[in-house]
């Protein structure tokens, strides 16, 4: 059976379309893979650049760490929870903050270090509170404010009532962490 010229053209056109469609499908799948790989490469290049920047800044971090270590030797040391509570009371009196309740929280051990935690209720004006928080950050050892909740007193909105949760980092032997 021989095909006439018209049938040969149709068979050739259909075969060409089938090849073109198969090429399109394969090309689309490969193009999607290529885009995915390209995104991964860009992501990994960004990650590598950030890692290299971190490595380059290592000397600066070591210098800052050494400065902190030197500063810790001059900081307040807390032998036990009563030392921390006394320090908070002294700072509160100096700043004009009235600490009405103190509740020690459970001691948390971290290898060579431990955390002394306390939750306090207080009343203070905004200026006194700012002075108190500033003094906590500058005058004491490793005390951090974990949580602070404030509300105005109903009978006098210029006075704030609040609860504050503080943590102090100390060495297991009782000295401030260094």
Residue 33 to residue 26: CA distance in whole angstroms: 11
Q: Show pLDDT as tens, one digit a residue, over the chain (178 residues).
A: 687 889 889 999 999 999 999 999 999 989 999 999 999 999 999 999 999 998 999 999 888 877 766 655 555 566 678 888 888 898 899 999 999 998 988 888 877 777 888 999 999 999 999 999 988 887 766 788 889 999 998 898 889 999 999 988 777 654 444 3
pLDDT of residue 120: 93
Q: Where are the domains of the chain?
A: 1-56, 76-171
Residue 76 to residue 176: CA distance in whole angstroms: 7
pLDDT of residue 177: 45
Let me know if 71 is exposed, middle or buried by CB neighbors in 10 A (0-12, 13-18, 19+).
Answer: exposed
- Give the predicted TM-score (pTM) of the model: 0.53
> Dihedral angle at the C-alpha atoms of 107, 109, 113, 114, nearest 10 degrees?
-10
CATH entry 3.30.70.60 includes domain 76-171: yes
SS3 sequence of 140-169:
CCCEEEEEEEEEEECCEEEEEEEEEEEEEE
Beta bridge partners of 171: 113
């Amino acid at each position: 059976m021989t095909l006439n010229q018209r049938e040969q053209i149709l068979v050739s056109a259909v075969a060409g379309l089938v090849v073109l469609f198969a090429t399109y499908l394969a090309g689309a799948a490969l193009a999607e893979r290529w885009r995915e790989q390209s995104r991964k490469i860009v992501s990994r290049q960004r990650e590598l650049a950030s890692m290299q920047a971190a490595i380059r800044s290592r000397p600066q971090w070591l210098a800052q760490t050494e400065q902190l270590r030197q500063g810790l030797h001059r900081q307040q040391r807390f032998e036990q929870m009563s030392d921390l509570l006394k320090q908070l009371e002294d700072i509160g009196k100096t700043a004009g903050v009235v600490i009405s309740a103190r509740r020690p929280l459970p001691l948390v051990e971290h290898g060579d270090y431990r955390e002394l935690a306390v939750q306090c209720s207080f009343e203070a004006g905004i200026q006194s509170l700012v002075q108190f928080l500033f003094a906590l950050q500058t005058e004491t050892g490793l005390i951090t404010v974990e949580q602070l909740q404030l509300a105005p007193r109903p009978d006098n909105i210029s006075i704030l009532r609040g609860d504050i949760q503080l943590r102090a980092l100390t060495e297991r032997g009782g000295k401030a962490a260094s």
